[in-house]
Structures are given as structure tokens and as C-alpha cells.
Amino acid sequence: MSDKDIVLPVMDYENNPFWVCTMCYHLARAAQRGELSKGCGHMRCHSPYEGSCFTEYEGPLTEDMLKQWCFVCGDPSDHLIQAADTLTPFGVCAKHAPDAIEGINVIKLGEREEKPLTEEGEA
């Protein structure tokens, strides 16, 4: 079975609590093998809260998408966080944003502008 045949997300929040993980082909392959309790098998692939940036992620989420959506739950992001020694920032919602974690940079995103519709229906 090729990756294009894999159905995402893999719903396994008990063993793999991050939305990013549920959108990863590594976890989907583990699910196909019946090995979800072992996670995806990439033991060095961690979240920014653990000082990393999902280095082994393989899936449809682009770098921009990872900034726009909370990596924990998939809701729209309010902040960007970045582990101190990594280059990749990740989106995080207000519910999952850390108040203060050593080694984590937190950037509050500006309020999202919503333009009113004109009579013609254009923003």
C-alpha cells in the first residue's frame, strides 16, 4: 500500500496525543501493522515542548500549515512556539500555549483580521 492510499488522521490520542502525529504517515503505517501502542517507532521525533521539532514527520502538512494550526489539537493557532535549538516554529492555540517553559520561544500572533463583506460579497 502506498502513502497516497493511507487515510489520515490516525485517531490514536491515547498513545499519541499530538494532532501532528495523527497526520503522519509513520503513525499510519504503525496502525496498519497493528502496532499503535508502540507509537510510530521514531523515538527521537518529539514536540517543541520536548526540545525538538518533529524531525521525522512525514505527511501532508506543510510548514505553513504547521504554523496555522495547533500542533497539539489542530485548532487555529494563536501563538508560534519554537524549541530554542531548532529552526521550525509550530502553531499552538491559547489552550495549549505554555506560560513559561525553559528553552521555548513563544510568539503571540496578531489578531486575525476579518474583513467585512461588501454588497457584492467580496472581502
Bridging pattern class, strands 90-92 and 79-83: antiparallel
Higher per-residue confidence, 1 vs 63 = 63
Banded pLDDT at 122 (limits 50, 70, 90): very low
Distance of CA 44 to the CA centre of its chain: 16
Range of the structural domain that residue 21 is part of: 3-108
Cell of residue 27, nine digits: 503513525
Residue 119 lies in a domain: no
In a domain, 113, yes or no: no
Give residue 117's pLDDT.
38
Q: Give the chain's radius of gyration (CA, Å).
A: 17
Is residue 77 in some structural domain?
yes
Q: Is residue 67 part of a domain?
A: yes
pLDDT tens readout for residues 73-113: 999 999 888 887 778 889 999 888 877 566 677 777 764 44
Task: Count the neighbouring beta carbons within 10 Å of the beta carbon of residue 19.
Answer: 19
- The per-residue pLDDT for range 30-43, each reduced to its tens digit, is 888 888 777 787 87
d(CA 16, CA 31): 11
Q: Could you tell me if residue 115 is inside a domain?
A: no
Beta bridge partners, 68, equal none
Write down the pTM of the prediction: 0.74
Q: Which residues contact 24 (CB under 8 A, 6 or more apart)?
A: 8, 10, 40, 54, 57, 58, 59
